[in-house]
Structure 1
Amino acid sequence: MLFLVRLLSVALGGSCIAILTGYLWCIGDRSVLQKVLLNFFAVLISIIAASIFGEHLYKFLKK
């Protein structure tokens, strides 16, 4: 069950990463380095958010 919830969280995080990366890459006239850094932080935040969401969902479903 925990594996399934974590897999769902990773899939959710992956879709958030794809959306954020596409959005951040199209913003304004930033340099490539700034875009790469923005995308890196977007990926990092999405992974952290997905793991926190997965743990809370698991605790909720376990009750």
Structure 2
Amino acid sequence: MKAAVELFYDRVLADPDLAGYFAGVDMVERRRHLALMLAAVLADVQVVLGQVREQVVSAGDA
């Protein structure tokens, strides 16, 4: 997760069209926030996939 966030913001900040939007922004906090958000989203996806898998397995038992 950390590597993906680092790569994303490294590319964003290297882009002259986007870098200005982040002038004066605490990038350590931005990177931390994005990593936490992605972890939450991906965790929710794993929960949903687990529920779907359980439904498929239990439907096969019927």
Q: TM-score scaled by structure 1?
A: 0.58
Moved segments of 4+, more than 6 Å:
none
Q: TM-score scaled by structure 2?
A: 0.59
Unpaired runs of at least 5, structure 1: 1-13
Match of 1:3 in 2: none
Aligned identity (percent) is 9
Question: Higher RCO, 1 or 2 (CA under 8 Å, sep at least 6)?
Answer: 1
Aligned residues: 47
Bigger Rg over Cα: 2
Q: Please state if 1:25 is matched with 2:10.
A: yes
Equivalent runs, 1:27-46 vs 2, <5 Å: 27=13, 28=19, 30=23, 34-46=26-38
**Shift, 1:52, TM fit:** 0.3
**Shift, 1:21, TM fit:** 2.4
Unpaired runs of at least 5, structure 2: 14-18, 56-62
